A and B are shown apart, each in its own frame.
Chain A
Amino acid sequence: MSFTAPTYILFFAAAAGGWYLLPQRLRRFWLLMAGVAFYCFAGPRFLPALLGVALVSYLAALAAEARWLGKQRLWTCLGLICVLGTLFACKYLTFFFGMIVPGAAVRGLPLPPGLSFYSFGACAYLIDVQREKLPAERDPVDYAAFLTFFPVLLAGPVGRAREFLPQLKQPHAFDAARGKAGALRFAWGAFKKLVAADCLGLLVDAAYADPSAVSGGAMLVAALAYSVQIYLDFAAYSDMAIGSAEMLGLRVTENFRAPYLSRTVKEFWKKWHISLTDWFREYLYIPLGGSRRGKARTALNVLIVFAVSGLWHGAAWTFVVWGALNGLYQVVGSVTAPARQSLRQRFRIPEQGAVTAAVQCVVTFLLLTLTWIFFRAPSLGTAVYVIKHILLIARDGFGAASAAALLPLRRWLLLIPVLALCVAEDVGTVRGRPAWTRIGGGFAYWGVLAALLLAILLFGVYGEGFDAREFVYFRF
């Protein structure tokens, strides 16, 4: 069930109603049942995978903490092997077997929705218990309620038990202010998804459906548009997840902080998919040695982390190249940072000047756009073709008519104010005052909410004539 489906509103109303109305002792069980029901909408046949991961990680953490058979690390490792083994079998078996035996047709297990997200949540929990950052959860209902928490179950943010479980154990009375803030955040996310991201999706899909049929200029526009689409799509999902959780009085970690207003790729990765980046930093990069073992090892660690991050997104070479490019950017960025700084000093370019910042933001955005081409393209060959096609603008011309034909004129015009709103939101976020915190109460609040809903209904990409568009990150 997608957050943008009308059935989700009904589902959420039932879930929230039970959460607030049931006696305290039953609430966590209700939340667990809501998570299970929500997952069943995605495919009941995948429920054993979710419950299996929950059961294995729950027992492994208990065993590790109690040092059953005098072992601690053994149980953690066993738990991790089971959880990551499930992820590997479902997501990567075909890919790796294909590498070992080229041409062999091996069908892996079907990929349960959200497995990449909740298995990482379970792994983080196991390692945290091993590191004694939190005690193993005794109550199986509480732990399962954490792992199946429906707002973040299918596409994150990647949950952290150490942040979530203590909240679950507190009594929750309905807080109107939090409820309203959550509802507005949810509506804003729906607006970003249906009006902005999916509109860009129409354009991107039209171009990527047959890159040879559009001009190089059109392909460039589509590549740039995809950079924005994937951000708005994923940020919209996170907004709706965080908004849903907020309405239940639960806090979920922020996943984005205006990433495209970053001046370097390194800074971008501190602001993009924060929950996953933090996960990789804490459970992979630092255990690999982080930046403590010299520059060469640091560079290698960065490359490893980003290659794995690419693979996390999908078992395909396009994702590996996407991850490797992002790693490479950061390595090259670190290596060339002193030279670039001395160049700026030599030409007296102010380090913190607005123009410098703007140019750096644009360059960063373009570098990232190059990586997103690999992310979006169905194969490496297509990605390379798209890049060549764009580079041939110099020879063949931009082909403005072909680019303009990607969307009806009125949709192009609509994108201007819509994207301006999204930029304004990001600027507000950078300044520490996100848009949804600035709307007052009373008429202003309800007016904005009504306007958002009306804009979604009027301008949203949904219904007849449009293919239903899942969130991009659902497929990971």
Chain B
Amino acid sequence: MKKRREIAAILAAAMLFLCLGFCAGALLRPVRTEFGCMWPAYLREERNSLDVLYFGSSMVYCDVAPAWVWAESGLRGFVMAAPEQTMPITYYYVREACRTQSPQIILLEATGMFFNEYQNYTKPNISYMPFGVNRLSAMAAAAEPSLWDGLLFPLLHYHDRWTDVSADELRANLAPAADPLAGFTLLKDACAAPTPYEREELTADSDTYLENLQWLERIRDYCAGRGITLIAYIAPSASRIPAPAMETLRTDAAERGIALLDCNGHLPEMGIDDDADWYDYLHFNVSGAEKFSRWLGRYLADRTGSSGGGGTDALWIGRLRTIEERAGRTEA
């Protein structure tokens, strides 16, 4: 009897410890409202209400505004990109995202094919994922072992924030809000016209690239299994993938039956003004993002046979109004 009581006490204390620890970790985690990893906001979207999901790196969340894509195509979407999102993380993002949504199309920005095993943002990329098999798998496949403890028990990563966390942050963490920009990060500044150059560090001659090809195949298979159209694309940027690497990727994608769209060849079509539409060498500012997103919307509408031209969905009309206000197109 005494032994049972002791075991019950141990279990109760362990549960209390874990519950309070996880709650504290979740409350202290910085609120994420831009720059990708938008899981809390994504999970606020109505189930099965999205047609397109966008994955990839900052070149997605800075360049693709789902509201403008919707305005051109009627396709409702959400950007589930993350800073320097590596291919294994993309794979588990896709799986996790499809737990609550049934998209027709997944757009994957494919520069991640040339990323290293570990990039610079593993911690936020995985920390904001909901707890579950996909998060644990992403951790095992794509996180530096030194980060595992904090990814398993986030309080270890965020405990020191108790000295400056605000009441607003606590409220936002307790009840995350939906994102009116649907995962898009709006950048206003413009840089001088960037001169295109090739990023020599991006190469297809590495083991990591071969591993990334396997992850791409897994994404393709997963999409095929769920009847999702997978479109891989290379985002427009002045910082280009070297021609040999690009050619290898094009061949490898074609061999695997994956459409690859190099958007850099369509810049004039988009109407990009090099003096006004770039935030930096890699990303569009809001003006460039609008042009690119509307072009992408038209492309998707053509490709899917969508009626295009937005619609009467009040949520998306509101989102379009919000982004236009924030972009300074209309008065708030």
Contacts and interface: CB of A to CB of B under 8 A. Distances in A.
A454 B13 contact: no
A443 B21 contact: no
Interface stretch (B76-84, B159-167, B258-266): B159-167
Interface in B224-282: none
B9 A408 contact: no
Contacts of B5: 442
Contact of B149 (A6, A410, A411): A6
B17 A454 contact: yes
Given A442-B6, A454-B20, A464 B163 contact: no
Of A411, A463, A466, the most chain B CB neighbours within 10 A belong to A463
Given A410-B162, A447-B9, 16 more contacts: A411-B163, A441-B6, A443-B9, A443-B12, A446-B12, A447-B13, A454-B20, A457-B21, A457-B156, A458-B159, A459-B159, A463-B156, A463-B159, A463-B160, A465-B160, A466-B160
Interface residues of A, number: 24
A446 B5 CA distance: 11
A20 interface: no
Contacts of B24: 454, 457-458
A457 B162 CA distance: 11
B157 A463 contact: yes
B160 A445 contact: no
- Per DSSP, are chain A's interface residues mostly helix, strand or loop, or mixed? helix
Contact of B10 (A408, A410, A446, A462): A446
Interface of B: 5-6, 9-10, 12-14, 16-17, 20-21, 24, 149-150, 153, 155-157, 159-160, 162-164
Contact of B13 (A411, A450, A458): A450
A450 B14 CA distance: 7
List the 6 closest A-B pairs by CB distance, nearest first: A446-B13, A450-B17, A450-B13, A408-B163, A443-B9, A446-B9
B163 A447 contact: no
Contacts of B20: 454
A411 B161 CA distance: 11
Interface in A426-476: 441-443, 445-447, 449-450, 453-454, 457-466
B128 to A, nearest CB: 17
A445 B10 CA distance: 9
Contact of B16 (A447, A462, A463, A466): A447
Nearest to B3: A176
A385 to B, nearest CB: 30
A450 B16 contact: yes
Nearest to A409: B163
A164 B156 CA distance: 38
Contacts of A461: 160
A159 B61 CA distance: 62
Given A410-B162, A446-B10, A458 B17 contact: no
Contacts of A411: 163
B159 A457 contact: yes
Nearest to A460: B159
Contacts of B164: 408, 410
A20 B12 CA distance: 27
A465 B160 CA distance: 8
Nearest to A176: B6
B159 A445 contact: no
Nearest to A444: B9
Of B12, B14, B159, the most chain A CB neighbours within 10 A belong to B159
A61 to B, nearest CB: 45
A459 B164 CA distance: 12
A453 B18 CA distance: 10
Contacts of B13: 443, 446-447, 449-450
A447 B153 CA distance: 20
Nearest to A445: B9
A9 B160 CA distance: 22
A411 B163 CA distance: 7
Interface in A385-408: 408
Contacts of A450: 13-14, 16-17
A8 to B, nearest CB: 14
Nearest to A443: B9
Contacts of B10: 446
A278 B206 CA distance: 65
B38 to A, nearest CB: 23
Contacts of A445: 9
11 contacts: A442-B5, A446-B12, A447-B12, A447-B13, A447-B16, A454-B21, A454-B24, A457-B24, A457-B156, A462-B159, A463-B150
A149 B163 CA distance: 39
A310 B166 CA distance: 47
A247 to B, nearest CB: 16
B30 to A, nearest CB: 13
Nearest to B20: A454
A92 to B, nearest CB: 39
A443 B14 CA distance: 11
B22 to A, nearest CB: 11
B160 A442 contact: no
A459 B162 contact: yes
B169 to A, nearest CB: 14
Nearest to B17: A450
Contacts of A463: 150, 156-157, 159-160
A466 B157 CA distance: 12
A464 B157 contact: yes
Contacts of B159: 457-460, 462-463
A453 B153 CA distance: 13
Contact of A464 (B6, B14, B153, B160): B160
Contact of B162 (A441, A454, A458, A465): A458
Contacts of B150: 463
A205 to B, nearest CB: 16
A460 B10 CA distance: 23
A453 B163 contact: no
Given A442-B9, A443-B9, A446-B9, A453 B17 contact: yes
A397 B182 CA distance: 56
A410 B164 CA distance: 8
